[in-house]
């Protein structure tokens, strides 16, 4: 029953090279699912969160601002929490603190994406390897029995075609998912730059206003 399935027949006809291609497909699928789950948790828009943080800072309620950051799952909240914890620093130093934390959070965004890039690169090469071994098999048959029996060549030729197709079917989606992960990471970096500078400017302005009011 299992051998009658099309995908099983393709796997069998593709020869030994199909094994590493199959393992690459499983690994790429696992990484894709893990990245989708992470990005969905971190994909909430930070706009409302930023308004709440600014309101707390405007009221000089730093404890509430930190509580809001710790409650939020978005990695941007951890970057802002690092800044709020060091609001005594000058603006440039404060931005450096938040950028340092942003580098830590970027590692979470880029986690396992190198695996997708590697699979996208090696899967077509594995398919090409299967193509070469399949053609070697076909030419070996030709050298043995000639070209009088086309069915005798079918095994080697089908092995070459199946592995090529399998390598592309794994490599192309892996490359697409990798590029998507890269775009999400780039968007996060832009958010960090914008909101870090926004927070530093906001607090600098709030401090100036507070000092004038006290004076």
Q: What is the pLDDT of residues 16-52, one digit of tens each?
A: 888 899 999 999 999 999 999 988 877 666 777 778 8
The rounded distance, in Å, linking the Cα atoms of 53 and 48 is 9
Q: How far is CA 108 from CA 78, 91, 118, 168, 182, in A?
A: 12, 26, 18, 28, 12
pLDDT digit string (tens) for 195-207? 888 777 777 665 5
3-class SS at 148? coil
Quick check: helix, strand or coil at residue 90? coil
Residue 140 has pLDDT above 80, yes or no: no
Dist. CA 174–CA 170, nearest whole Å: 6
pLDDT digits (tens, 9 = 90+) for 59-103: 778 888 888 888 877 788 888 888 888 877 887 888 888 888 888
What integer pLDDT is reported at residue 94 of this predicted model?
Answer: 82
pLDDT on residue 48: 77
Residue 180 is predicted with a pLDDT of 94
What's the pLDDT score for residue 7? Answer: 58
Place of tokens 């069998």: 12
Give the residue ranges of DSSP H helices in the chain: 6-13, 18-42, 47-58, 62-71, 75-84, 91-109, 113-145, 150-214
The answer, yes or no, to whether residue 213 has pLDDT greater than 50, is no
Using the predicted structure, report yes or no on whether residue 5 has a pLDDT greater than 50: no
Share of the chain above pLDDT 70, in %: 74
Residue 152 has pLDDT above 60, yes or no: no
pLDDT of the residue at 156? 56
Residues 50/23, Cβ–Cβ less than 8 Å: no
Count of CB atoms within 10 A of residue 207's CB? 14
Classify the C-alpha dihedral 131-135-138-144 as positive or negative.
negative
User: Per-residue pLDDT for 1 more than 60?
Assistant: no
- Say whether pLDDT at 208 is over 60: no
Report the C-alpha gap between 10 and 145 in whole angstroms: 26
Within 10 Å of residue 111's Cβ, how many Cβ atoms? 14
């Amino acid at each position: 029953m299992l051998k009658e399935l099309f995908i099983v027949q393709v796997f069998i006809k593709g020869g030994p090279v199909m094994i590493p291609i199959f393992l690459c497909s499983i690994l790429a699928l696992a990484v894709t699912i893990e990245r989708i789950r992470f990005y969905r948790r971190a994909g909430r828009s930070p706009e409302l969160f930023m308004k709440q943080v600014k309101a707390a800072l405007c009221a000089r309620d730093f404890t509430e601002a930190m509580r809001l950051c710790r409650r939020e799952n978005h990695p941007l909240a951890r970057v802002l929490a690092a800044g709020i914890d060091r609001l005594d620093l000058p603006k440039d130093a404060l931005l450096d603190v938040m950028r340092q934390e942003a580098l830590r959070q970027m590692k979470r965004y880029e986690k396992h994406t190198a695996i997708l890039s590697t699979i996208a690169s090696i899967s077509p090469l594995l398919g090409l390897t299967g193509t070469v071994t399949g053609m070697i098999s076909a030419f070996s048959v030709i050298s043995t029995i000639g070209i009088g029996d086309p069915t005798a060549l079918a095994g080697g030729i089908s092995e070459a075609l199946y592995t090529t197709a399998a390598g592309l079917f794994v490599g192309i989606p892996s490359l697409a998912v990798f590029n998507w992960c890269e775009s999400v990471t780039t968007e996060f970096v832009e958010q960090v730059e914008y909101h870090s500078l926004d927070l530093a400017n906001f607090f600098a302005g709030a401090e100036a206003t507070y000092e004038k009011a006290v004076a």
